[in-house]
Amino acid sequence: MRPLDSTEIPTVERLRSAGSVFAEDEARVLHDAAASGADLAAMLERRVRGEPLEHVVGWAEFDGLRVAVDPGVFVPRRRTEFLVRQAASRCRPGGVVVDMCCGSGAVGLALATAFGGRIELHATDVDPIAVSCARRNLAAIGALVYEGDLDAPLPDRLAGSVDVIVANVPYVPRDEIALMPPEARLHEPSTALDGGIDGLDVLRRLAARAPRWLPPGGHLLIETSERQADAAAEAAARHGLTPTLETSDELGTTILIGSRAA
C-alpha cells in the first residue's frame, strides 16, 4: 500500500476522531476516489456520519476484485472469500452455479472469475436494489440475475441440473441485530441480516428446497457460524443432503456443505 500523502493527514485525523480504526487505509481510498476537493469533503462527511466506506465510494474489494456496491446493498465481507474457495473446489468448467441471496453478486462474480467465465451462472435476491446492483456486476460474464425469494424465480429447466448452489444467507439471530455496528444495522437491508430467532430460518428453508435443483453429486454451500454449525448440519441432513462442515480460523467463518449422493 502506498505511503500517506501529507494532504491526506487531515482526513486521517477526522476519521480517527469519528472512531475509525482503519483511518489511514480509509483516507487513501477516499482520496483516490474523489474527483475534486468538494467531492472529497462530501464523501468524508458521509463516512463520518457512519455510512459504510463501500457505499460512499461505490465499490468493495472482494477476493481481489472491485465489486460495485450501491447504497442500501449488503457489503461483501472478507470472510465470505472462504465460501468462494469452498465452492470453487466443487465447481467444474461448464458447470451450472446458482448464487442465492446474491446481494451485489460478489460471490458469483468471484466464482466465475476463478473459472475464466466458464460456468453458467444464475443469481437471485429478494431485494430489487441488490438485483439491480448484481446485474451491473455480472453483466460482462452473461449471468442471469432474478428478483425473488430464494429459488422461486429460477427457471424450471434448471431443476436437477445445478452443480453448485452457493448462498450467503442472512444468519444473524434477530435479537442480536441491535448489537451489530451501526454501519450494518442502519445502512444494510434487514433482509440480508435477519436470520430469525436463532439465525437459521433462511438456511432451513434453503436446505429444504435445494434437493429439487441438485443432481446426484451436486452441492449446496451456505455460510454460517461455528455456534450454528451443528444445527445447520442437521437441517441439511433432514432433507437428504450429506452435511460437511469446513471452518476457517483465519477468517472466522464456517461453511455448511450439503451434498447429494452420487
Residue found by looking up cell 474523489 in the block: 34
pLDDT attached to residue 262: 84
Q: CA distances (Å), 131 to each of 62, 72, 127, in order? A: 18, 11, 6
Q: Over its length of 262 residues, how does the chain's per-residue pLDDT go in tens digits?
A: 778 888 899 999 999 999 999 999 999 999 999 999 999 999 999 999 999 999 999 999 999 999 999 999 999 999 999 999 999 999 999 999 999 999 999 999 999 999 998 999 999 999 999 999 999 999 999 999 999 999 999 999 999 999 999 999 999 999 999 999 999 999 999 999 999 999 999 999 999 999 999 999 999 999 999 999 999 999 999 999 999 999 999 999 999 999 999 8
| Cβ neighbours of residue 26 closer than 8 Å, sequence gap 6 or more | 15, 20, 47, 53
**Rounded distance, CA 92 to CA 163, Å?**
8
**Rounded distance, CA 17 to CA 228, Å?**
36
Q: CA distances (Å), 117 to each of 88, 138, 142, 145, 162, in order? A: 12, 10, 9, 15, 16
pLDDT attached to residue 57: 98
Name the residue among 14, 11, 2 with its Cα closest to residue 37: 11
